[in-house]
Amino acid sequence: MAWFKKARKPISAPEKASRVPEGLWVKCPSCGRAIYNKELAANLQVCPKCSHHFRMSATDRLRMLFDDGAYTEHDPGLRSIDPLHFTDTKPYKDRLAAAKRAGGSRDAVILGSGALDAVPVVVAAMEYAFIGGSMGVVVGEKITRAIERALEARLPVVIVCCSGGARVMEGARSLMQMAKIAGALARLDRARLPYIAVLTDPTTGGVTASFAMLGDLNIAEPKAQIGFAGPRVIEQTIRQKLPKGFQRSEFLLEHGMLDAVVDRRELRDFLANILTFTGPDR
Ligand SMILES: [Zn+2]
């Protein structure tokens, strides 16, 4: 019976890059080295051997940026509803509940205010683990509130972007957030308050098309994927092979889309320097 049957290898799932699996050891997807989890955490989730930047959670990011890891969280209670009763492979409501259970945060951005090297600042850090860091109504509202809070207190704003783009499950409402945040940023600009965008891997879609690229300074972590549409879609549209390193931080820096590429271990000092330099007169 089985004579003519071809023993097929099952299709293996692509290796997930930049995900930190549970356990004591993590294998670096870039150099293959096994890294002790605690060592990785102490090194701000950067591979000590090859400097591969693993993805960082929003809370770790805020802890890393603020002095002594201390900050005040704002609007933690806002959570998404399901206005369109959207269902794809599973209902959006279930997806929201699962995301909350998995990561603990209520949506894909966490706001904090505090001091960064003694400079008071408002920081919004995006959480990729929450439905791909996608921007729905809550993300838009929280970021807008962060900017408005900064406006009121005359503080600079830092947004750490990490997102797959707008949240399809909220349709046009998620797209409206692009304009809403851009409007708030324009007011911040008129008030002559600085906004620094920090782009991390990945920053794509509607987030890139709005606030991620509107910083007074747009800086990125090394080798982060930054773009609007994915490279495969672009290749199919323009029917051309894309150059090597396309949509990576270094490529974008070279082509004038970014102001700097900064290693995560130097990011705090870099931001402190800029904020001191550009900070509002008090
Ligand atoms: Zn490595």
Alpha carbons 60 and 278: distance in angstroms, whole number? 25
- Could you tell me the distance, in angstroms and rounded to a whole number, from the CA of residue 53 to the centre of ligand 1? 8
Gyration radius of the chain's alpha carbons: 20
- Could you tell me the distance, in angstroms and rounded to a whole number, from the CA of residue 113 to the centre of ligand 1? 32
Alpha carbon separation from 30 to 48, 51, 52, 245 (Å, rounded): 12, 9, 6, 15
pLDDT (0 to 100) of residue 276: 93
Give the pLDDT band (50/70/90) at residue 100.
Answer: very high
pLDDT (0 to 100) of residue 281: 59
- Could you tell me the distance, in angstroms and rounded to a whole number, from the CA of residue 19 to the centre of ligand 1? 13
- Could you tell me the distance, in angstroms and rounded to a whole number, from the CA of residue 44 to the centre of ligand 1? 13
- Could you tell me the distance, in angstroms and rounded to a whole number, from the CA of residue 64 to the centre of ligand 1? 21
- Smallest Cα–Cα separation from 181: which of 230, 142, 144? 144
Mean pLDDT, to the nearest integer, of 182-200? 97
- Could you tell me the distance, in angstroms and rounded to a whole number, from the CA of residue 32 to the centre of ligand 1? 6
- Could you tell me the distance, in angstroms and rounded to a whole number, from the CA of residue 184 to the centre of ligand 1? 39
- Could you tell me the distance, in angstroms and rounded to a whole number, from the CA of residue 27 to the centre of ligand 1? 8
- Could you tell me the distance, in angstroms and rounded to a whole number, from the CA of residue 86 to the centre of ligand 1? 40
What is the crossing angle of helices 137-153 and 171-190, to 10°? 10
The overall average pLDDT reported for the chain is 93
- Could you tell me the distance, in angstroms and rounded to a whole number, from the CA of residue 28 to the centre of ligand 1? 5
- Could you tell me the distance, in angstroms and rounded to a whole number, from the CA of residue 197 to the centre of ligand 1? 26
pLDDT (0 to 100) of residue 16: 57
- Could you tell me the distance, in angstroms and rounded to a whole number, from the CA of residue 202 to the centre of ligand 1? 18
Give the pLDDT band (50/70/90) at residue 194.
Answer: very high
- Could you tell me the distance, in angstroms and rounded to a whole number, from the CA of residue 37 to the centre of ligand 1? 13
- Is it true that the peptide bond before 29 is cis, omega within 30 degrees of 0? no
- Could you tell me the distance, in angstroms and rounded to a whole number, from the CA of residue 208 to the centre of ligand 1? 27
pLDDT (0 to 100) of residue 3: 65
- Could you tell me the distance, in angstroms and rounded to a whole number, from the CA of residue 262 to the centre of ligand 1? 17
pLDDT (0 to 100) of residue 89: 93
| pLDDT surpasses 70 at 6 | no
pLDDT digits (tens, 9 = 90+) for 28-67: 999 999 999 999 999 999 999 999 999 999 999 999 999 9
CB atoms under 10 Å from CB of 96, counted, come to 21
Alpha carbons 226 and 253: distance in angstroms, whole number? 11
The secondary structure of 159-185 as a DSSP string is EEEEE-SB-GGGHHHHHHHHHHHHHHH
pLDDT digits (tens, 9 = 90+) for 123-144: 999 999 999 999 999 999 999 9
